[in-house]
Structure 1
Amino acid sequence: MTAHRRLAASASALLALALALAGCTSSGDDDEAASSSSAPASSAAPEAEPIEWDDCSTDIDPIIAGRPGSDRDLSFECGTTSVPVSYDDPDGGTLQLFLVKATLAGQANRIGSLVVNPGGPGQSATDAAIQSALTLPPDVLGRFDIVGVDPRGVGLSTPVECISDEQKDELFAADPRATDAAALEASFGRVDEVAEACAEKYKAALGAFDTVDSARDMDLVRQALGDEQLTYLGYSYGTTLGSTYAELFPENVRALVLDGAVDPDAGQQESAEAQAQGFEAAFENFAQNCTGLISGCPLGPDPRSYVNDVLAQSAATPIPSSRQGETRQATPGLVLNAVRSALYQPTAWPQLAQSLTNARNGDAAGILTLADTYTGRNDDGTYSNVVDANVAVNCADTDEEFTRAQVSGLIADWNAKYPLFGADAALGLYTCSAWDAPRTPLPERDAEGSAPILVIGTQGDPVTPLPGAVDMAEDLVSGVLLTWQGYGHTAYPKTDCVTAAVNAYLIDLTAPQDGLTCPA
């Protein structure tokens, strides 16, 4: 049970800020609002509620101080708005959404809002808006306000919270490669406990955190922002949300950039195996890069064997950390999460090599830092709700189920095929089988009638492998495929070729030639 895309490192700081700014309702209030949706259905279409904005620059500026891009002349506003719990009953209960808007001083010929979503599901889009304001090209910032709205159940938008910090610690520390009968029983039991706790807390309202309704929310937000059509930049799961929006509201699409596309044609098993295969390939790229260093690879000539040695070491005796106040020790599960975390971006590869070296020598501080970045664990031992939201949204979006016997067979098979990441990927297939909540499966998405939609795939993406982008671009009637021959998860704005193509599309609505390939 792992997040599809890791949490940005700054999210915990933003979370604390936003809680203070938003005055969000308690989970008990959320349950009451959600359960009130059982009233008779209404045929009236919901109307967009105004966004209540407050200047929050003085709160955000200290958070971003010293980060690249923090010298930009930016202002920030934080806001809230309400959306129906159920679009079948728009006059019933409501959920509160939390937003952040970033504006660069001196805008000229403003086009409108650029709505961003970083993926997950479960990642904070408000945090992504702040980060995007620091990193997106000035040409884009000069024409758009950057807006992040946490989807329902995510971040501070009526957050779904039903997995305890203790449960998360246990889930992430467990070795997913343990395949004996007792270990499998324990693994399934942990998943069952999570599903039972969430169902007990939210009951049928747990099914409200689905992508289809989040896409409907996004259209109300578009209207509240005053934009005639939506301009959107979505990464990873954000491509699922964006393509669902295009399917529901094709006439409201101005420009959608779908970067790191999740394969719309693949079922859960196919997607899980593709991701396991992708991470194994990414590890090989990391290993080849390390052994090719002029200064020599700190992991020696065979990095895979080195990692296996660290895994065996942590299984025999969990590795302590030198970090002050840290009581955890690195287990195989945490080592694997650290490796997975670093494989998202090549910029983290040196950190991974050093952290593995230190762990081999008895200090797991670097391993725990990487693992915590992936799982959303804060320094004080608490977690963001990224995992809760990830599971709730993923399970609301599918009606596929797998038996324990099926999953056990796949764990054994994939553990042999994909020795670092296969077992964990297979175990994840059981998560939604145990989930007790209504489902709203994702629609098929061709978005007929939409303006051109730009789909980006990266050749060396371990999280959303390139075939997913190919499939999405083919499925969308107006899809245009752009491929980057680089490594890591997502492409914009990492390279001049991709950046130029995306900028021209967002600003001038000039889509690149379908099939354009940008070099690494």
Structure 2
Amino acid sequence: MPRRSRPVIALLAVVLAMLTLTTGGCTLPAFAPDGADSPADPDGAPGAASTPGAAAQWTPCSSIPEKLVGRGAPGMTYECASVAVPRDWAEPDSGQTYDVAMIRIRSKSQKDRIGSLLINPGGPGGSGIDTAVYLSFGPTFGGLPTEITDKFDIVGFDPRGVGRSSPVKCISDVDQDASFAADPDPVSQAEFDRVAALNKKIADGCGQKYGDQLPHFSTEQAARDIDALRTAVGDSKLSYLGFSYGTLLGATYAQLFPRNVRALVLDGAVDPTESYVQGSESQAKGFERAFGNFTEWCRKTPAKCPISADPRGAVTDAMAKAESSPVPYSDGREATAGWIFVGLISSLYTETGWTSLAQAIDELQTGDAKGIMDLADQYAERTPAGTYSNLFDANLAVNCADTDQAPTVERVRQLQSEWRKKYPIFGAPLAMGMLPCTYWPGKRDPFPAGKATGAPPIVVVGTTGDPATPYENTADLAAMLGTGHVLTWEGEGHTAYPSTSCIVKAVDGYLIDLKVPQEGLRCPAK
């Protein structure tokens, strides 16, 4: 859907919902690039990539914020560049490269510049270029504090395979629709086999198109790209703000280049020590907990929640009825259980989404599917024309390149049954979500999971009500790195910065002055 027609503050609510959820046989990152833009001059011509190791060649690109939001932020300048990186860092002199796109946003009131702050929103598959644009609009719209933009160039980048950076594209829009619409918890063997067959078709198609390139889209390869970006922007050490999957990318960088780190903020922690199955179960647990928090909110604020009498019953009943009698939607689709589930996930990434969910389920009961389909399409980044960006293609390529522990089809079927009992709404869909990597044809390139020996203190931020990266991951990531320091937000939704003055003060003090937050600091929800 066109971003420019939506208020900036609404866009930021979506931007900060930033991690992978797997469901219905398709991976569902929370934030996607528009997919149509490239790093460009004002006329839209792609920026030329510099050679590996060279300084970035910046050109004005005000067209990007104009397309995303309708305008640039007051007092900000926008420039873009593209940096060539080896396709395979194990063979850096092969001559084969990918182009990694960046945007540099600089405040006209900047003084006493510290350097660049590289930003990654997660996904994997989210556009750091888009995210940097949204965050450039400042605290009034939920963006970065002026204290940060006055000291740093804000540099967003699309990792290899994402958005404007040699994008992966191997899933058709028709297959995307089919995957989202599919039963998230197929009980009969025949229905399970149909969902599995769709996953295999998608995986085979990506393998046929990209073949030996598939392992090159791994997190470790992208982390090595970050060091090339650090050199290209002229920084001797890296300052980095990573959300959600961006915490995994940042943690991998810290292990590979610990002495090149200046300051890393990792918000919404992924635990690299968890297996693929353990990570999926953690998300199932996190979303069940978030849904429980939603139901409690409904009961306490019935005026805002028309399904407050029985929120869980209303949602599960809507999904059950959709199995046999889905509500028709105006564009020809039907609000199947799969689409309802995607809308449910979309609403739980931010506390502000709870009101929309309650209203959408209430309307669905009366035969109106618009609310739930709007939530689903917002999350899926599906345009009114039925097209998708490359978010899901890139997400699949990265996730599957990263894991060499994908369960067998038989194990997925077993976990589907077990997790349905433990996590009634989210368990079975999260088990099904592992199928794409089960069928993935490419070789694997797992990320490291160890100490960042030699790195300075790293701040790891966790939210107690986070559905996608459960709070328990926060201390685990900090401990794994060895130099991690936990900062807690006692709030709801996915990621914390810049949500409250307490979090902002702690993070800004670290990024600007390298002052590590007080040990054990817990920031209140409001």
TM over 0.5: yes
Q: Pick from 321, 335, 338 the counterpart of residue 329 of structure 2.
A: 321
State the Cα distance separating 1:320 from its structure 2 match. 2.0
Q: Pick from 437, 442, 447 the counterpart of residue 437 of structure 1.
A: 442
1:151-210, Cα deviation, whole Å (9 max, x unpaired): 110111101111111111001001121211101111211111111101111111111101
Number of aligned residue pairs: give it. Answer: 490
State the Cα distance separating 1:73 from its structure 2 match. 1.3
| 2:218 is aligned with 1:210 | yes
**Compared with structure 1, are the counterparts of its residues 101 and 314 closer, same or farther at alpha carbon in structure 2 (3 Å cutoff)?**
same
1:405-439, Cα deviation, whole Å (9 max, x unpaired): 11111111112222211111101222212111121
The residue aligned with 1:114 is 117
CA contact 1:2–1:375 (8 Å) conserved in 2:
no
The residue aligned with 1:17 is 37
The residue aligned with 1:509 is 514
| 2:288 is aligned with 1:286 | no
Q: Secondary structure at the match of 2:156?
A: strand
The residue aligned with 1:126 is 129
Alpha-carbon distance in structure 1 between the residues aligned to 2:468 and 2:29: 7
1:316-346, Cα deviation, whole Å (9 max, x unpaired): 2221234xxx221210000000001110000
Q: Secondary structure at the match of 2:262?
A: strand
Residue pairs, 1:252-263, within 5 angstroms: 252-263=260-271
Alpha-carbon distance in structure 2 between the residues aligned to 1:272 and 1:468: 13
State the Cα distance separating 1:2 from its structure 2 match. 4.2
Alpha-carbon distance in structure 2 between the residues aligned to 1:241 and 1:328: 37
Alpha-carbon distance in structure 2 between the residues aligned to 1:186 and 1:24: 41
Q: Pick from 450, 457, 460 the counterpart of residue 452 of structure 1.
A: 457
CA contact 1:319–1:330 (8 Å) conserved in 2:
yes
Residue pairs, 1:304-453, within 5 angstroms: 304-322=312-330, 326-453=331-458
The residue aligned with 1:31 is none
The residue aligned with 2:30 is 6
Alpha-carbon distance in structure 2 between the residues aligned to 1:418 and 1:209: 32
Q: Pick from 94, 99, 114 the counterpart of residue 96 of structure 1.
A: 99
Q: Secondary structure at the match of 2:154?
A: strand
CA contact 1:209–1:393 (8 Å) conserved in 2:
yes
The residue aligned with 1:462 is 467
Question: Superposition RMSD on alpha carbons, in Å?
Answer: 1.8
CA contact 1:4–1:121 (8 Å) conserved in 2:
no
The residue aligned with 2:148 is 140
Q: Secondary structure at the match of 1:18?
A: coil
State the Cα distance separating 1:59 from its structure 2 match. 4.7
CA contact 1:275–1:464 (8 Å) conserved in 2:
yes
State the Cα distance separating 1:402 from its structure 2 match. 1.3
State the Cα distance separating 1:50 from its structure 2 match. 3.2
The residue aligned with 2:14 is none
Amino acid at match of 2:500: T
Identity of aligned residues (%): 44
CA contact 1:230–1:255 (8 Å) conserved in 2:
yes
Alpha-carbon distance in structure 2 between the residues aligned to 1:233 and 1:156: 20
The residue aligned with 2:4 is none
CA contact 1:3–1:121 (8 Å) conserved in 2:
no
Amino acid at match of 2:314: Y
Query: TM-score, length-normalised on structure 2?
Result: 0.90
CA contact 1:4–1:463 (8 Å) conserved in 2:
no
Q: Secondary structure at the match of 1:242?
A: helix
State the Cα distance separating 1:16 from its structure 2 match. 2.4
CA contact 2:37–2:164 (8 Å) conserved in 1:
no
Amino acid at match of 2:481: L
The residue aligned with 1:169 is 177
**Compared with structure 1, are the counterparts of its residues 104 and 296 closer, same or farther at alpha carbon in structure 2 (3 Å cutoff)?**
closer
The residue aligned with 1:475 is 480
State the Cα distance separating 1:454 from its structure 2 match. 0.4
CA contact 2:55–2:232 (8 Å) conserved in 1:
yes
CA contact 2:304–2:355 (8 Å) conserved in 1:
no
**Compared with structure 1, are the counterparts of its residues 318 and 438 closer, same or farther at alpha carbon in structure 2 (3 Å cutoff)?**
same
The residue aligned with 2:19 is none
Q: Secondary structure at the match of 2:92?
A: coil
**Compared with structure 1, are the counterparts of its residues 493 and 518 closer, same or farther at alpha carbon in structure 2 (3 Å cutoff)?**
same
Gaps of 5+ in 1: 26-45
CA contact 2:267–2:497 (8 Å) conserved in 1:
yes
Query: TM-score, length-normalised on structure 1?
Result: 0.91
Amino acid at match of 2:154: I
Moved more, 79-88 or 453-462: 79-88
CA contact 2:73–2:136 (8 Å) conserved in 1:
no
Q: Secondary structure at the match of 1:280?
A: helix
Amino acid at match of 1:74: M
| 2:103 is aligned with 1:79 | no
CA contact 2:55–2:234 (8 Å) conserved in 1:
no
The residue aligned with 2:252 is 244
Alpha-carbon distance in structure 2 between the residues aligned to 1:421 and 1:472: 24
Residue pairs, 1:21-60, within 5 angstroms: 47-60=52-65
Alpha-carbon distance in structure 1 between the residues aligned to 2:404 and 2:54: 32
Alpha-carbon distance in structure 2 between the residues aligned to 1:504 and 1:407: 45
**Compared with structure 1, are the counterparts of its residues 477 and 19 closer, same or farther at alpha carbon in structure 2 (3 Å cutoff)?**
closer
Alpha-carbon distance in structure 1 between the residues aligned to 2:425 and 2:201: 26
State the Cα distance separating 1:62 from its structure 2 match. 5.5
Amino acid at match of 2:425: L
Q: Secondary structure at the match of 2:441?
A: coil
CA contact 2:318–2:365 (8 Å) conserved in 1:
yes
State the Cα distance separating 1:143 from its structure 2 match. 0.4
Amino acid at match of 1:499: V
Alpha-carbon distance in structure 1 between the residues aligned to 2:407 and 2:163: 29
Alpha-carbon distance in structure 2 between the residues aligned to 1:296 and 1:146: 38
| 2:273 is aligned with 1:265 | yes
State the Cα distance separating 1:64 from its structure 2 match. 2.2
**Compared with structure 1, are the counterparts of its residues 112 and 94 closer, same or farther at alpha carbon in structure 2 (3 Å cutoff)?**
same
Alpha-carbon distance in structure 2 between the residues aligned to 1:120 and 1:71: 25
State the Cα distance separating 1:478 from its structure 2 match. 1.2
CA contact 2:52–2:86 (8 Å) conserved in 1:
no
State the Cα distance separating 1:52 from its structure 2 match. 2.9
Alpha-carbon distance in structure 2 between the residues aligned to 1:343 and 1:192: 29
